[in-house]
């Protein structure tokens, strides 16, 4: 959607059994305040429910919050599922991700990783960057 003048559309979800969603709700507010359209799926989502939302909402970015040490399994799984479905949508993971796992996530196709407490400007600029927006759209 680069250059269309339309807001960036972001699907946010907690993939798997992770029950901690306070941070993801904060991120949803950050992105909405920055003018993005946010579809918040909430807790305990499946790969299929996220794929359905991405297709139905014509999402530009998928944001997954991880606090259960499932990032090395669930992150690559959602990237692969999106690719298998023919959806070229970048995935951003936020939450508790050890630095030693960053290279593996990048190699698996995860577009970006944001740690706990990432400032608003970093969250917004990261989502804009992976969506292919320079902020002028």
pLDDT tens across 45-86, in order?
A: 999 999 999 999 999 999 999 877 778 888 999 999 999 999
Amino acid 5: pLDDT:
76
137 occurs within a structural domain? no
Q: How far apart are CA 80 and CA 64, in angstroms?
A: 14
Amino acid 137: pLDDT:
44
Q: Which domain CATH number covers 59?
A: 3.40.50.280
133 occurs within a structural domain? no
**Which position has the higher pLDDT, 24 or 63?**
63
Amino acid 106: pLDDT:
97
22 occurs within a structural domain? yes
**What does pLDDT average to over the chain?**
90
Amino acid 1: pLDDT:
46
Task: Name the DSSP class of 4.
Answer: S
**pTM score, two decimals?**
0.91
User: Is the CB of residue 44 less than 8 Å from the CB of residue 13?
Assistant: no
User: Is the CB of residue 95 less than 8 Å from the CB of residue 67?
Assistant: yes
User: Is the CB of residue 88 less than 8 Å from the CB of residue 55?
Assistant: no
How far separated are the first and last CA of the chain, in Å rounded? 9
34 occurs within a structural domain? yes
Task: Name the DSSP class of 67.
Answer: -
User: Is the CB of residue 111 less than 8 Å from the CB of residue 92?
Assistant: yes
Number of domains in the chain: 1
pLDDT, mean of residues 111-120 = 94
135 occurs within a structural domain? no
> Which domain, by its residues, includes 61?
9-128
Distances (CA, A) of 110 to 17, 22, 49, 57, 76: 20, 22, 19, 20, 7
Q: Which of 36-50, 58-72, 118-132 has the lowest mean pLDDT?
A: 58-72
């Amino acid at each position: 959607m680069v250059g269309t003048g339309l807001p960036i559309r972001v699907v946010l979800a907690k993939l798997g059994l992770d029950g901690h969603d306070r941070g993801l709700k904060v991120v949803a507010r950050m992105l909405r305040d920055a003018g993005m359209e946010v579809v918040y799926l909430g807790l305990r989502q499946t790969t299929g429910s996220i794929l359905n939302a991405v297709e139905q909402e014509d999402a530009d970015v998928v944001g997954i919050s991880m606090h259960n040490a499932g990032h090395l399994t669930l992150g690559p799984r959602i990237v692969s599922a999106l690719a298998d479905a023919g959806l070229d949508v970048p995935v951003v993971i936020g939450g508790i991700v050890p630095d030693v796992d960053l290279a593996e996530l990048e190699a698996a196709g995860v577009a970006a990783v944001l740690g706990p407490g990432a400032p608003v400007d970093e969250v917004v600029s990261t989502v804009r960057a992976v969506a292919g927006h320079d902020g002028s759209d």
